[in-house]
């Protein structure tokens, strides 16, 4: 499920800092979360990582070709990049219930075809949701097809790329969605979203 | 991505406690996580919820019709039930990067068509991954199609139901997958998995 509030305000700020259509949307004022964002520890007392609504952590990177719900159209692209840490994998295991040792147990995972732990595919697909959350307007997830092509390792920095490929009418759009891990395609697929108007502020 | 280690050992234990083919797979010896499993707080100092590989938290419930990789076949079912807490939604926002205020901001969400906050669709789909992790053997996620039909509220207790509907050969299976929130279908779709042999212990 995806959308955002105050996105246009944020985009206005970002737009002022860049002359490029493909604006860099890196946020820079969330220093409190900097250490947590890259921390990899199994200490059970580590605080849960927290973000505020519509917040971007410093290590995240988002890009978009449009900042206005009125102009969303075929060809618009939305990208989101972050690192997948051990903390993210362990908290997703607890949040989803997927405690597959392929994701959590080094010794087990080393004996599999992957020769080491990998991130949950569903967690990796969450970056697509994060990219779609950067589409201007209140974005509602209608469907998502996923093909898992390559594993993502703990510590990998990955990018979700989404591009609108069809205007389905009634504010619905079909997008090509994929997640890249370096040059490897981790996930390929497509999504359909509905864009509602944002609530009035 | 899904599979499990020591699943056969765990299943042997569970099988001893039940004469039913549709074995209850509730684990009961993880009291240390009991409070965390149902906690809903926005305190940023709350410790991150942790689980061990192949562990089940007390509030989770899993059921399966088979415990042997050799006998997996069309008609076998795998279910997984858990509650989606505010903590899960907030940690998924940080782990995935989807900080859509529809999931995090009560005031914003109340003004949308959902009249309140809802869980991320991708987080909800994580329960399908958790159910597939209970398929005996080393389960590898090849694909997943998702249609989001109804929202899941914070605090809802939801169930993923997966049933093998086709043996595709080469240890690959197609499954019907859905997530139920009470009587509502939250997610409908299908998955394809590959079952590798478990590493030798």
Instruction: Pick A193 or B68 by higher pLDDT.
Output: A193
Separation of alpha carbons B176 and B165, rounded Å:
6
Query: What are the chain A neighbours of B104 within 8 Å (beta carbons)?
Result: 51-53
pLDDT band at residue A54, thresholds of 50, 70 and 90? confident
3-state SS record for A95-138? HHCCCCHHHHCHHHHHCCCCCCCECCHHHHHHHHHHHHCCCCCE
Nearest C-alpha neighbor of B38 from the set B82, B80, B81, B85: B85
Q: Residue A55's pLDDT is what?
A: 82
Which of left, alpha, beta for A189 (phi over 0: left; psi -120 to 50: alpha)?
left
Separation of alpha carbons B102 and B68, rounded Å:
42
3-state SS record for B86-136? HHHHHHHHHHHCCCCHHHHCHHHHHCCCCCCCECCHHHHHHHHHHHHCCCC
pLDDT band at residue A38, thresholds of 50, 70 and 90? very low
Separation of alpha carbons B195 and A156, rounded Å:
25
Length of chain A: 201
Q: Which domains does chain B have, with CATH numbers?
A: 7-29+56-85+123-196 (3.10.129.10)
pLDDT band at residue A52, thresholds of 50, 70 and 90? confident
**Tens-digit pLDDT profile for residues A15-37:** 333 323 333 332 332 333 333 34
Which of left, alpha, beta for B115 (phi over 0: left; psi -120 to 50: alpha)?
left
| Secondary structure element (H or E) that encloses residue B35, with its range | helix B34-38
ipTM of predicted complex: 0.78
Q: In the 8-state DSSP scheme, what is residue A26?
A: -
pLDDT band at residue A47, thresholds of 50, 70 and 90? low
Cβ within 8 Å, pair B126-A96: yes
- Count of pairs with CB atoms under 8 A, one residue in A, one in B: 273
Query: What are the chain B neighbours of A145 within 8 Å (beta carbons)?
Result: 143-146
Contact of B23 with B15, CB cutoff 8 Å: yes
Interface test with B, best of A3, A48, A81, A171 (most B CBs within 10 A): A48
Ranges under pLDDT 50 in chain B: 1-44
Q: Residue B4's pLDDT is what?
A: 40
Q: Residue B53's pLDDT is what?
A: 87
Q: How far is B16 from chain A (nearest CA, A)?
A: 22
Interface test with A, best of B61, B129, B185 (most A CBs within 10 A): B129
**Tens-digit pLDDT profile for residues A108-159:** 999 999 999 999 999 999 999 999 999 999 999 999 999 999 999 999 999 9
As a dihedral over the C-alpha atoms of residue B179, residue B180, residue B181, residue B184, rounded to 10 degrees, the angle is: 120
Q: Residue B87's pLDDT is what?
A: 95
Contact of B92 with A126, CB cutoff 8 Å: yes
Nearest C-alpha neighbor of B66 from the set B74, B57, B56, B55: B74
Cβ within 8 Å, pair B53-A138: no
**Which residue of chain A has the CA closest to B86?**
A95
> Which residues face A175 on adjacent strands?
A164, A191
Q: Residue B2's pLDDT is what?
A: 41
Query: What are the chain B neighbours of A144 within 8 Å (beta carbons)?
Result: 121-122, 125, 145-146, 148
**Tens-digit pLDDT profile for residues A66-92:** 988 888 999 999 999 999 999 999 999
Cβ within 8 Å, pair B80-A101: no
Q: Residue B59's pLDDT is what?
A: 94
């Amino acid at each position: 499920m995806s959308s955002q509030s105050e996105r246009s305000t944020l985009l206005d700020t970002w737009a002022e800092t860049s002359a490029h259509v493909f604006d860099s949307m890196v946020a820079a004022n969330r220093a409190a979360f900097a250490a947590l964002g890259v921390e990899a520890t199994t200490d059970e007392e580590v605080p849960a990582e927290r973000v505020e609504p519509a917040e971007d952590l410093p290590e995240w990177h988002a890009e978009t070709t449009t900042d206005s719900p009125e102009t969303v159209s075929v060809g618009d692209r939305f990208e989101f990049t972050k690192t997948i840490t051990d903390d993210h994998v362990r908290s997703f295991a607890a949040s989803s219930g997927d405690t597959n040792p392929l994701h959590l147990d080094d010794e087990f995972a080393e004996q599999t075809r992957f020769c080491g732990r990998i991130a949950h595919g569903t967690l990796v697909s969450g970056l697509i949701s994060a990219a779609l959350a950067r589409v201007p307007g209140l974005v509602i997830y209608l469907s998502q097809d996923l093909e898992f092509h390559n594993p993502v390792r703990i510590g990998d920095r990955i990018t979700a790329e989404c591009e609108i490929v069809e205007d389905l009418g009634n504010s619905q759009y079909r997008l090509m969605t994929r997640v890249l891990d370096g040059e490897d395609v981790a996930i390929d697929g497509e999504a359909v979203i509905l864009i509602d108007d944002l609530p009035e502020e």
